[in-house]
Structure 1
Amino acid sequence: MHADFRIGFFSLLTALLSLSSVDAFYIPGWSIKSYKDGESVPLHVNKIYSDHTQLQFAYYELPFVCPPTGRRHLGSPLTSGTSISLNLGEVLRGDRIMLSDYELTMGEDKECQYLCSHQVDRRALNRAKEIISGGYVAEWIVDNLPGATSFVTVDKSRKYYAAGFKLGYQDFSPSTGKPRYFINNHVTLVLKWRKAPGKAGLQGGKVIVGFEVYTKSINAEERKDNGCPDKPLSVENGMELYLPANSTTAPEEYAALSYVPPAQEDLDDGATLTIPYTYSVYFREDDTIDWSNRWDLYFVNQDDSSRIHWLAIVNSLFIAGLLTVVVAVIFTRTIRGEIKAFSREGSLEDLKLKPKRKRGLNGAKSPRPSDKLSEGLLEQKGDLSTDADSSSDDEAIEDITGWKLVHADVFRPPPYGGLLAPLIGSGTQLVFMATGLLVLSCFGVLNPSFRGGFVSVGVGLFVFAGIFSGYFSGRVYRTFGGLNWRKNTVITAILVPGLLFSLIFILNLFVWAQASSTAIPFSTLMGLAALWLLVQLPLVYVGSWYGFNRIGSYEHPVKPNAIPRQIPAQPWYTKPSVSIMLAGLIPFAVIFIELIFVFKSIWQDKSGYYYVFGFLSVVSIILILTVVEVTVVATYMQLCAENYHWWWQSFFLGGGSAVWIYLYSIWYYHSKLHIMGFTSSLLFFSYSFLACAVYGLLTGTVGFLTAYAFIRRIYGAIKVD
């Protein structure tokens, strides 16, 4: 029944998402858009981004590019400058897609087409220089394909794409050594096509399988009357972003220079520079690329990376295999042997009444008082039968050690259980969300062409999984002896989402101040708040009511004593800080190699797309298995040290690898990235912290549920009469 409900839930959610984002939703081989000769092919402009910063900007908000004119394209009801409706994921990733003035007609080549001549003042000129020096690239889109700069491998055996193209380049003056900036004011667009499959191809339809952009900087003087350059393919002089120097404080000093310090430059002197923009369009047939595989050029290194992914899987399997052996030994030899001993000797309560003999420094058992009294009677040799009986009693008594001694305290409710229960509920919510995302990604529903789909579906899954959050939180809360289930419901629904929303809102203020498209619009924030409070909160309430009132608490095989047992001094390896770091290191070693690709995709290749979800799913399964086994081993060692405070400990043991991931992100920032500016650094560390916190909450919940099931199993197998 529960499985049918989950399958139906995911099917319904997928259907709703596909209907709400028809333009973006796409599965390879489906939803093919074909064009006939003479049909208009729209070109959309999106944003600019850089590897040196986390701040992105909408393309049409740049003061030095041609603004949209509002012209209507052939056969299209939309005018240039019209914003395209975006899904939630696209908005959150900073997309601002608008229809451009570039006219592309299927099958029609244009050697040169004039776009506009745009006048820029000194402020716009300085802004252009900042953009160029910051290494920004622009993203244009044709038929859902991002415009790309093409490259060829060193051996010229393969061609690959890097999404985006540069807006200009920087050079240095040979005479003064000052920087010179050139803007790429001419673009050559190459669209590769092939015959459309199926019936559309028989009717003359063509599909686009490649979109390449080649840039060039062309001087304003070397042009014809129509605005096009004389020789667009061979131009020696570029379009330099230069206006004669001026200064309000020291004109004599800088009169002969083209560079003036910004503090002494008069930005409002009325001087302007006219930048002409032109473009060329070429359509080329290419039968070597299938439409369903047209994204492969963006992933040219997939063959090389596949070997590394397989290495990561082998490494993960090796670590998980060693842990499996350890857990198997604990279960089959240690715990099962002790349980069998209990079955032979009687109940745990009977054995507990027998005195425990201590061992001396050399490992020998200390004598009982009765042994000392009878030593003179038995002389030195003693009675053999008595020695045999005492030896068997000693073995039974010696079994009452470690985890068996804390049976009456192991299910004692933990301190701050009212906080742990909501965390476990939110953790199960994340488990369902992550599982759904991986399943949909492996089946191809979520893929690079579904722009923003991963985030959109993730938010939807998280919200609708609120019912599972409330269910588990309610049951755990009642197991801890809680009575006010409505209060627990509110905490569960608000605690984790509220902290995430608050931190994102505060970070958004810094991005708003930079006028970046990375800033989440206020309307989107209000929509997220409404989704949280009006959809998730009721779902958490329903799940909590069902889990707390209808199902009730979990049953325990042992009832706790009225007086807690005193915990002895703990060995160094069971101390919380040490055990959490050691337990977290092993899962981190499992995912380390795959983590390199994830970090590179997110922080370095902002235009790139993570696509190896099959490998990610396998590594995730091994990761969860490793977390389960590490938690079992660490919890067993803690119980053997007669420490029954395992509730919170198991949660932190499961999430311990999040600490290592955050430490890795700090190292990654200093060694791999070239991020500049306070805001970008703040965004990096804050979002890294949020990601690690979410990951730690997910794996911590897995660790808690694993330890809980493990302890119920071992204490339920012995007789406690």
Structure 2
Amino acid sequence: MKWFRSSPSLAALIALRASLSAAFYLPGVAPTDYNEGDLVPLNVNRLTPAIQASSQQVQSLISYDYYHEYFHFCQPEGGPQKISESLGSILFGDRILTSPFELRMGKNETCKLLCQSKHDKRSARFTNMRIWQGYNLNWLIDGLPAATLTSQIGDESNQFYSQGFSLGGFVNDGKTQPKPIINNHYDIIVDYHRIPGRKDRSFRVVGVVVQPSSRHQKVSGGDKKTADCGNEDPMLLSEEGNTDITYTYSVIWMESPTAWATRWDKYLHVFDPRIHWFSLVNSAIIVVFLTGMVSMVLLKTLRKDIARYNQLDLNEDVQEDSGWKLVHGDVFRPPKNPMLLSIFLGSGAQIFFMTGVTILFALLGFLSPSGRGSLATAMIIFYTLLGFVGGYTSARVYKSFGGESWRKNILFTPIFIPGVVFGTFFFLNFFLIWKGSSGAVPLWTMIALVCIWFVISLPLSFAGSWFGFRAPAFEAPVRTNQIPRQIPEQALYLKPLPSMLLVGILPFGAIFVELYFIMSSIWFHRVYYMFGFLFVCYGIMIITCSTVTILMIYFLLCSENYHWHWRAFFISGASAFYVILNAFIYWLSKLSLGGLASNVLYLGYSLLIGFLFFILTGTIGFFSSWVFVRKIYASIKID
């Protein structure tokens, strides 16, 4: 895979995985062998909006079922049958159904009649609007997406597959406004690979390209009708009356040297991998710089301060002028709203480990792009199983804060953050239902999610909380004074808002480039697979969040401000503000969403992603600062 070749630093890890999996195929990705003449299934998926070539923008986020009543596509005898899908595939809007296409291995077809259908005025207006919005058809042949053959600008030899193909196009006579035309003929080009070393003639599908066109075909014959595809006049859908459309297709089988194991390579194309490398080098420089600064503070300034302070005679009336040591009697005072902070930290720990485990499994190849929705399914499973970690973290932190409402902590930890996520998800799903989108999550899937939440996640969280409250609290290394110390006037850069804006931009800068590719995969329906880069970026983000938060908390303590708990959480979590700001800029520059539903969906999901990112980065910043604060105050001699 290209992500392997672009991440040589991970070569040893990937080689280990390859040696372990050489003797078997991962579940769900085993190849299917076909003999000559065997039926190769062609399944259809939803229609999705794509980038318009003219404006380079997406005009809608609503996907539609292939057999939507207004499209009038040909259906198989007895009606289409649903193909089983994973939970993640359903949540991401996939609706895979059978089709009337008949593809026989190695058997070419020319202008084969599929069916004839009729569009009324309302259907024509609906379909033409989808053509104006640049919608794509999505088919699956042997699990491979039917694609359009594309080449990189300026390099015609570097060709790759772009998933999906256009619903229609436009015809322009130069005198009037371009008119939409519907593609009703499909040239299906299937690449196959002959299995070496096999006595029987067995083949495997290794590539699928569809070249759609609009043709005004003529149909002749009696019971056995045939179509003539020689007429290349475009097919226009009239919005003033009924339109009869004839659908046809041709099949061309081409032998290819591409092995089955590498058949996804052309789908997983990187335009310029140097962008990723420049991003990683830039992020690595930031990490080295920040780590150097923090190391300088810890190894030089703090070491000298601690040594000088410990040499003082504490029985004498000596006033030390170093600010962070003056607040030793207040620095471990419990923060305001310890319940809410502990809930955030428990959920953040759960998200942190879920993200890390998911990226690791994807890096090792267990979440193959051929397993549709496997990434989302894995995230749900890992988050559910890690409920124990969330409950344990929240309970033990809350106990260390001196909290006494342990019942509320046990109850709210697995409900508050998931409740916000599920509530937002359910709310946005109503907009998809209102627009008749195939992306609307079915009722039974909603019930399944709730059952997974209550049956698995909640008990695990309760068990974790029980163990967390039974574990000893983290004792403060110094005593806390009864009377809080007065906090002097703070410098501008140490005030909450400036410090958050100043520090939050650095973790965001470490993931900015990778975030762009993730956003494109979500909104442009592309396959994201560069988990080697993502693994490195995730590690860089963790280090950056930790170092910048520690540095700012040190400056805060030096200014004799001991309210560091919430400040550490918000300083690191402020990177979510830049994630949301980036999503807003992306909304203005890359999207041109005219409908209310599409805009609400984009903004709603962007805010939800930003909220979860806030919880994740805030948790990283808090725990790194907590370790730092405990370490430095445990090193000084207190009477």
User: How does the TM-score come out when normalised to structure 1?
Assistant: 0.81
Report if aligned partners of 1:64, 1:118 keep a CA contact under 8 Å in 2. no
State the shift of 1:447 in Å.
2.6
Farther-moved stretch of structure 1 (59-68 vs 703-712): 59-68
Report if aligned partners of 1:446, 1:453 keep a CA contact under 8 Å in 2. yes
Q: Which residue of 2 aligns with 1:419?
A: 340
Can you list the C-alpha shifts for 1:61-112, whole angstroms capped at 9, x where unaligned?
A: 24233342335xxxxxxxx611011111111111110011101111111112
The letter for the 2-side match of 1:160 is: F
Q: Which residue of 2 aligns with 1:368?
A: none
Out of 219, 235, 240, which is 2:236 matched to? Answer: 240
Q: Mark the CA change 1:504 to 1:170 in structure 2 (over 3 Å): closer, same or farther.
A: same
Q: Which residue of 2 aligns with 1:362?
A: none
Q: Which residue of 1 aligns with 2:497?
A: 577
The letter for the 2-side match of 1:237 is: D
1:63-82 alignment, distance < 5 Å: 63-70=70-77, 81-82=80-81
Q: Work out whether 1:716 is the aligned partner of 2:634.
A: yes
Q: Work out whether 1:659 is the aligned partner of 2:577.
A: yes
Can you list the C-alpha shifts for 1:530-575, whole angstroms capped at 9, x where unaligned?
A: 11122111111000000112x1211210121111111011011110
Q: Which residue of 2 aligns with 1:277?
A: 247
1:497-516 alignment, distance < 5 Å: 497-516=418-437
State the shift of 1:656 in Å.
1.3
Q: Which residue of 1 aligns with 2:55?
A: none
Separation in 2, partners of 1:719, 1:493: 41
1:180-191 alignment, distance < 5 Å: 180-191=179-190
Separation in 1, partners of 2:425, 2:47: 22
1:306-321 alignment, distance < 5 Å: 306-321=273-288
The letter for the 1-side match of 2:489 is: A
Q: Work out whether 1:59 is the aligned partner of 2:66.
A: yes
Q: Which residue of 1 aligns with 2:543?
A: 625
Report if aligned partners of 2:182, 2:235 keep a CA contact under 8 Å in 1. yes
Q: Which residue of 1 aligns with 2:261?
A: 292
Q: Mark the CA change 1:133 to 1:281 in structure 2 (over 3 Å): closer, same or farther.
A: same
Separation in 1, partners of 2:598, 2:351: 27
Can you list the C-alpha shifts for 1:383-433, whole angstroms capped at 9, x where unaligned?
A: xxxxxxxxxxxxxx4xx4210000000000001001100110000000110
The SS at the match of 2:381 is helix
Report if aligned partners of 1:228, 1:278 keep a CA contact under 8 Å in 2. no
Q: Which residue of 1 aligns with 2:610?
A: 692
1:471-490 alignment, distance < 5 Å: 471-490=392-411
Report if aligned partners of 1:24, 1:451 keep a CA contact under 8 Å in 2. no
Separation in 2, partners of 1:273, 1:674: 30
1:51-130 alignment, distance < 5 Å: 51-70=58-77, 81-130=80-129
Can you list the C-alpha shifts for 1:627-674, whole angstroms capped at 9, x where unaligned?
A: 110011000000001000000000111211111111111111111223
Out of 298, 305, 317, which is 2:272 matched to? Answer: 305
Separation in 1, partners of 2:225, 2:71: 18
Report if aligned partners of 1:132, 1:181 keep a CA contact under 8 Å in 2. yes
Report if aligned partners of 1:47, 1:95 keep a CA contact under 8 Å in 2. yes
Separation in 1, partners of 2:188, 2:605: 36
The SS at the match of 2:291 is helix
Report if aligned partners of 2:118, 2:243 keep a CA contact under 8 Å in 1. yes
Report if aligned partners of 1:655, 1:697 keep a CA contact under 8 Å in 2. yes
Separation in 2, partners of 1:346, 1:402: 18
1:365-444 alignment, distance < 5 Å: 397=320, 400-444=321-365
Q: Which residue of 2 aligns with 1:554?
A: 474
The letter for the 1-side match of 2:274 is: R
Separation in 2, partners of 1:506, 1:700: 26
Separation in 2, partners of 1:92, 1:64: 23
Farther-moved stretch of structure 1 (220-229 vs 460-469): 220-229
The SS at the match of 1:329 is helix
Separation in 2, partners of 1:196, 1:683: 46
State the shift of 1:211 in Å.
0.5
1:501-540 alignment, distance < 5 Å: 501-540=422-461
The SS at the match of 1:99 is coil
Report if aligned partners of 1:173, 1:180 keep a CA contact under 8 Å in 2. no
Q: Which residue of 1 aligns with 2:15?
A: none
Separation in 2, partners of 1:235, 1:621: 59
State the shift of 1:242 in Å.
1.9
Q: Mark the CA change 1:204 to 1:672 in structure 2 (over 3 Å): closer, same or farther.
A: same
The letter for the 1-side match of 2:62 is: L
The SS at the match of 1:213 is strand
Separation in 2, partners of 1:298, 1:87: 21
Report if aligned partners of 1:152, 1:159 keep a CA contact under 8 Å in 2. yes
Q: Which residue of 2 aligns with 1:586?
A: 506
The letter for the 1-side match of 2:501 is: M
Report if aligned partners of 2:66, 2:73 keep a CA contact under 8 Å in 1. no
**Structure 2 unmatched runs, 5+:** 1-23, 50-57
Report if aligned partners of 1:26, 1:445 keep a CA contact under 8 Å in 2. no
The letter for the 2-side match of 1:101 is: P
The SS at the match of 2:413 is helix
Q: Work out whether 1:216 is the aligned partner of 2:185.
A: no
The SS at the match of 2:266 is helix
Report if aligned partners of 1:24, 1:449 keep a CA contact under 8 Å in 2. no
The SS at the match of 1:156 is strand
Report if aligned partners of 2:72, 2:118 keep a CA contact under 8 Å in 1. no
The SS at the match of 2:311 is helix
Q: Which residue of 1 aligns with 2:307?
A: 340
Q: Mark the CA change 1:47 to 1:489 in structure 2 (over 3 Å): closer, same or farther.
A: same
State the shift of 1:204 in Å.
2.0
The letter for the 1-side match of 2:544 is: T
The SS at the match of 1:98 is coil
State the shift of 1:132 in Å.
1.0
The letter for the 1-side match of 2:93 is: G
Report if aligned partners of 1:189, 1:281 keep a CA contact under 8 Å in 2. yes
Q: Which residue of 2 aligns with 1:165?
A: 165
RMSD between aligned residues: 1.9
Separation in 1, partners of 2:337, 2:493: 24
Q: Mark the CA change 1:516 to 1:305 in structure 2 (over 3 Å): closer, same or farther.
A: same
User: How does the TM-score come out when normalised to structure 2?
Assistant: 0.92
Report if aligned partners of 1:218, 1:229 keep a CA contact under 8 Å in 2. no
Q: Mark the CA change 1:344 to 1:164 in structure 2 (over 3 Å): closer, same or farther.
A: same
Q: Which residue of 1 aligns with 2:566?
A: 648
State the shift of 1:197 in Å.
5.2
The letter for the 1-side match of 2:156 is: K
The letter for the 2-side match of 1:314 is: V
Can you list the C-alpha shifts for 1:591-646, whole angstroms capped at 9, x where unaligned?
A: 2222222222222x31x111110011111101100111001100000000100000
State the shift of 1:222 in Å.
7.2
Separation in 1, partners of 2:634, 2:195: 64
**Larger radius of gyration, structure 1 or 2?**
1
Separation in 2, partners of 1:36, 1:405: 81
Report if aligned partners of 2:26, 2:366 keep a CA contact under 8 Å in 1. no
Q: Mark the CA change 1:519 to 1:24 in structure 2 (over 3 Å): closer, same or farther.
A: farther
Separation in 1, partners of 2:84, 2:418: 26
Q: Mark the CA change 1:518 to 1:664 in structure 2 (over 3 Å): closer, same or farther.
A: same
Q: Mark the CA change 1:489 to 1:197 in structure 2 (over 3 Å): closer, same or farther.
A: farther
The letter for the 1-side match of 2:610 is: C
The SS at the match of 1:299 is coil
Q: Which residue of 2 aligns with 1:39?
A: 38
Report if aligned partners of 2:214, 2:232 keep a CA contact under 8 Å in 1. no
